[in-house]
Amino acid sequence: MKRLLALPPLLLAVAALAAPTIDPPPGWRDVLSEGKVRNAVVALKGPETSSFIVKRAPTAPLDNPAGVRGYLRDVLAGLRAASRREYQSTGRVETRSFRNGLTAQLLRAQLKGEERLVLALFGAAGKPYVAVLMSAAPEAMLTSLLGALELDRIEGVIQSKGVVRSLDGQLELALGGGLRSRSLGDAEKAKGFVLAIQGAGAEILFMKLAESDATKPGEQAAITRALAAAAAGVDVEKAAAVRSAPTAAGPVGVYSWAPGAGGEKMSAGDLPWGYWGYQLFGRGPGSDELLAGALAALKGGPTAVAGLLAASPTIPIEKALPWRKILLGAAAVLCALGAAGLLSWSLRRKNANLPS
């Protein structure tokens, strides 16, 4: 358990390593270390007043066209207010793909009739990012900047169709409908992660548990909630109540989530799987829903044995009494008290009428 509770900081460190990187094009320099742009992961200064900044955008709705448009418009309004420049835009959002594999949603803005600003929203490693390019000729710099982000350090290989299997061959998942997988990096493999699933601006990592990491089923629900709280850096009381998450293969997992910084959700889950088990870690605005949805679609892979899956232990969850039962119980108590009161009143009335 101690090893598991030490994992959330490790996951945050891995996420930091997965942030976009870029080699500045000629005439541009890296100013990220100067710390002038808060929460930036990429900050470049170009000729004259040109700049290129990439920041995390945890609340951005990548899979909702109307939400993307509204989010980029809000960013533009903020830039207009901060810079005191009257940037104007038609509000049209376009999709642009680059040779490095990045696909971004773009919103262009003009200053005094000339295009001077491009906003871009894109996903990387299951997390949304927003880029701001200010230049006298932003169109000419898009390929040299957005197209030069090193996606091999961001996403690895993304698979959005077909079937994906975990590295140990135990887990199998059909992709599509917004559900995709990401290849794991060497550092992730070394820590025991066997599968990475993305969707809805979130990512879920599956880590196979060794026998030394095994805990009693009765303890796992509390551990799962503690993991979610530790990942978010909050007290365990702020983590959501543990819920069950059945799989298509038969075993039933459990999960919880806790509110993180900037609207993110940090999720944790546990999946009993035959003799083994998997710990799940999620990050992103919809990580709890992605976790439950991924488990619901999860099937046994080519190395899974049906008999072992059927014998997977069940994790008990302490459940509060449903409100209906509570109300019915309260009503029964009140009725009993009312009947006792009526009986007591009747006896007093009867005794009062008896002759002395």
Instruction: Decide if 130 contacts 121 (C-beta within 8 A).
Output: yes
CATH 2.30.30.230: does it fit domain 158-310?
A: no
* Average pLDDT score over residue span 243-251: 95
Strands of the 243-246 sheet, one edge to the other = 158-159, 180-182, 193-199, 202-208, 276-284, 265-273, 252-259, 243-246
Instruction: Decide if 129 contacts 123 (C-beta within 8 A).
Output: yes
Identical fold between 19-148 and 158-310:
no
- The strand pairing partners of 259, in sequence order, are 265
Residue 351 above 50 pLDDT? no
**pTM for the structure as a whole:** 0.55
Structure tokens at 252: 């039933």
Residue 337 above 80 pLDDT? no
Q: Compute the distance between CA of residue 173 and CA of residue 206 in angstroms, rounded to an integer.
A: 12
Query: Tell me, what's the pLDDT at 35?
Result: 77
Tell me what the pLDDT averaged over the chain comes to.
81
Pick 210 or 336 by higher pLDDT: 210
Query: Tell me, what's the pLDDT at 308?
Result: 92
Query: Tell me, what's the pLDDT at 319?
Result: 58
Query: Tell me, what's the pLDDT at 267?
Result: 95
Domain ranges (residues) in the chain? 19-148, 158-310
Binning pLDDT at 50, 70 and 90, where does residue 160 land?
confident
Most confident of 7-21, 174-188, 225-239: 225-239
Residues 107-148: tens digit of each pLDDT:
999 988 899 999 999 987 667 899 999 999 999 999 999 988
Residues contacting residue 299 through CB under 8 Å, at least 6 positions apart = 171, 172, 173, 174, 247, 248, 249
- The strand pairing partners of 18, in sequence order, are none
Query: Tell me, what's the pLDDT at 7?
Result: 52
Q: Compute the distance between CA of residue 198 and CA of residue 177 in angstroms, rounded to an integer.
A: 11
Residues 12-63: tens digit of each pLDDT:
444 444 567 888 999 999 998 887 787 788 999 999 889 999 998 888 887 7
* Residue whose entry in the numeric block shows the structure tokens 């983590």: 239
Q: Compute the distance between CA of residue 193 and CA of residue 8 in angstroms, rounded to an integer.
A: 13
Q: Which of 71-75, 236-240, 276-280, 350-354 has the lowest mean pLDDT?
A: 350-354
Query: Tell me, what's the pLDDT at 141?
Result: 92
Phi, psi of 44 (to 5 degrees): -120, 145
Amino acid, single-letter form, for residue 114: E
Please name which of 19, 156, 22, 179 lies closest in space to residue 101, comparing C-alpha atoms.
Answer: 156
CB atoms within 10 A of CB 346: 10
* CA distances to 91, 251, 278, 301, 342 from 255, in Å: 40, 13, 12, 22, 50
Residues contacting residue 177 through CB under 8 Å, at least 6 positions apart = none
- CATH node for 19-148: 3.40.1000
Q: What percent of the chain has pLDDT over 90?
A: 46
